[in-house]
Amino acid sequence: MNTVLRIGRLTAIGMAATCALATPALAQKDKMTPVPTPAQPNAIELGTGPLPGATAKESWHSQYGSLFARNVTVATLTPYLPDPANASGTAVVVAPGGGFRTLSMENEGSDVAKALAAKGVAAFVLKYRLVQTPADMAGFEKSMREMFSGAAARPPRPSDPQAMAASIAPQLEDARAAFALIRKRAAEWHVDPNRIGMVGFSAGAMLTMTTALAGQDAKPAFVGDIYGPVGSMTVPADAPPLFVAVAADDPFFGSGEMGIIKSWLAAKRPAELHLFEQGGHGFGMYPKGTTSTGWFEEFVRWLGMHGMLKPAA
């Protein structure tokens, strides 16, 4: 079985369409409208090569008033750097979600990165390679609807880091390459190579957790799991501090047991959970009237508590 099919069977069914089709708490326009691929002058190719077996070209569309990318075959990293006068030396790899079939490039990507940069944190949006989908919009929408119904019936409960890593091998390779690139250019970007963390959303959160637990040389200094996997996991003694944010009405993870926190605490590692009453799935940086909108400020306060908002002594 080739890599693309393996990803689809083992992980992406459970995460499919979670950002592209889940309705945020604040009503948004959910029609997918094709748009020209935007210029990405600051995007840096990660050198992990084209996705094996890929034939469809990268394309973009708008939905919920935000931009999404799909059929990504070449991984890139886009820096969003803080004002040097305000830089803390901390960096964050931002992994958007979208069921490994699309990427929420603004709501869970650039919007997050810009907000982090404003807090003095260097942020890097990871546009990782995706499972191929039909090139035409009608075919894409149909495939997402089909997988969305399957995902609603069987939310994933990954627990073994190695199984998680095997199921998303190309994406994990992209994440590891992102960490390697940031460390290589740390002096240029005014980043402390020992203070590089990662935050992910939905499928991006699964990638974040896998990078932390099975990413070998990546070794994030901290991780943020935003409406991603919350089941029990095998946690090593050197696992990084963990921040989790999820809404109780999330159709994928809100009603599940929060074993991830127990797993982290059992390993005697720092962990913090924010379970919001409302917010649904995919709330990201969308402005809404739910308390889930406050996840970002809580995340920033958590970074500050861990000393990540000031230069290292």
3-state secondary structure the chain: CCHHHHHHHHHHHHHCCCCCCCCCCCCCCCCCEEECCCCCCCCEECCCCCCCCCCCCCEEEEECCEEEEECCCCCEEEEECCCHHHCCCCEEEEECCCCCCEEECHHHHHHHHHHHHHCCCEEEEEECCCCCCCCCHHHHHHHHHHHHHHHHHCCCCCCCHHHHHHHCHHHHHHHHHHHHHHHHCHHHHCCCCCCEEEEEECHHHHHHHHHHHHCCCCCCCCEEEECCCCCCCCCCCCCCCEEEEEECCCCCCCCCCCHHHHHHHHCCCCEEEEEECCCCCCCCCCCCCCHHHHHHHHHHHHHHHCCCCCCCC
The pLDDT of residue 41 is 95
pLDDT band with cut points at 50, 70 and 90 for residue 27: very low
Q: What does the mean pLDDT of the chain come to?
A: 88
Task: Indicate the DSSP class of residue 310.
Answer: S
Q: Does 281 score more than 90 pLDDT? A: yes
Considering only 18-22, 102-106, 149-153, 280-284, which range has the smallest mean pLDDT?
A: 18-22
Mean pLDDT of 158-185: 91
Q: Which residue has the higher pLDDT, 154 or 16?
A: 154
Mean pLDDT of 197-202: 98
The pLDDT of residue 257 is 79
Using an 8 Å Cβ cutoff, are 181 and 77 in contact? Answer: yes
The pLDDT of residue 313 is 77
pLDDT band with cut points at 50, 70 and 90 for residue 1: very low
- Global pTM reads 0.90
Mean pLDDT of 59-79: 96
**Domain spanning 3-305: CATH superfamily:** Alpha/Beta hydrolase fold, catalytic domain (3.40.50.1820)
Kindly state the percentage of the chain with pLDDT values over 90: 77
pLDDT band with cut points at 50, 70 and 90 for residue 177: very high
Considering only 2-6, 82-86, 92-96, 244-248, which range has the smallest mean pLDDT?
A: 2-6
Mean pLDDT of 196-206: 97
The pLDDT of residue 255 is 65
